[in-house]
Structure 1
Amino acid sequence: MSYTTQAQTSIYSSEKDAADEFLAFTLGGEEYGINILRVQEIRGYEPVTRIANAPAFIKGVVNLRGTIVPIVDMRIKLGLGSPTYDPLTVVIILNIAGRVVGMVVDSVSDVTTLSAEQLKPAPEINTSFDNDFLIGLGTLGDRMLILVDIDKLMSSTEMGLFDPSAA
Structure 2
Amino acid sequence: MSQTVRKSTTQGTEMVAFRVGPQEFCVDIKAVREIRGWTPATTLPHAPHYILGVINLRGTVLPVVNLAARLGLPVDPPTPRHVIVVVAAEDQVFGLLVDAVSDILSVSPELMQGAPDLAQDSAKAFVSAVVAIEDRMIARIMPERMLPERMRLS
The TM-score range, normalised by the shorter chain, is: 0.7 to 0.9
Matched, 1:118 2:123: no
Q: CA RMSD in A?
A: 2.2
Q: Which residue among 89, 92, 113 is the counterpart of 1:96?
A: 89
Q: Give the TM-score of the pair, scaled to structure 2.
A: 0.83
Q: Give the TM-score of the pair, scaled to structure 1.
A: 0.77
Q: Give the conservation status (yes or no) of the 8 Å contact 2:11–2:108.
A: no
Structure 1 unmatched runs, 5+: 1-16
Q: Give the conservation status (yes or no) of the 8 Å contact 2:12–2:109.
A: no
Q: Which residue among 110, 130, 146 is the counterpart of 1:154?
A: 146
- Please give the secondary structure, in 2, of the residue aligned with 1:101: strand
Q: Give the conservation status (yes or no) of the 8 Å contact 1:18–1:37.
A: no
4+ residue segments displaced more than 3 Å: none
Q: Name the one with the larger strand percent.
A: 2
Between the aligned partners of 2:52 and 2:122, the Cα distance in structure 1 is 19
Between the aligned partners of 2:126 and 2:46, the Cα distance in structure 1 is 26
Matched, 1:143 2:128: no
Structure 2 unmatched runs, 5+: 1-9
- Please give the secondary structure, in 2, of the residue aligned with 1:130: helix
Q: Name the one with the larger helix percent.
A: 1
* Cα drift, residue 94 of structure 1: 0.7
The aligned length equals: 145
Matched, 1:22 2:15: yes
The 3 A distance-change label for structure 1 pair 85 and 155 is: closer
Q: Percent identity?
A: 32
Q: Give the conservation status (yes or no) of the 8 Å contact 2:12–2:108.
A: no
Between the aligned partners of 2:148 and 2:136, the Cα distance in structure 1 is 28
- Please give the secondary structure, in 2, of the residue aligned with 1:26: strand
Deviations 1:76-112 (A, max 9, x none): 2223223132333100001112221011011110110
The letter for the 1-side match of 2:79 is D
Q: Which residue of 1 is the match for residue 62 of structure 2?
A: 69
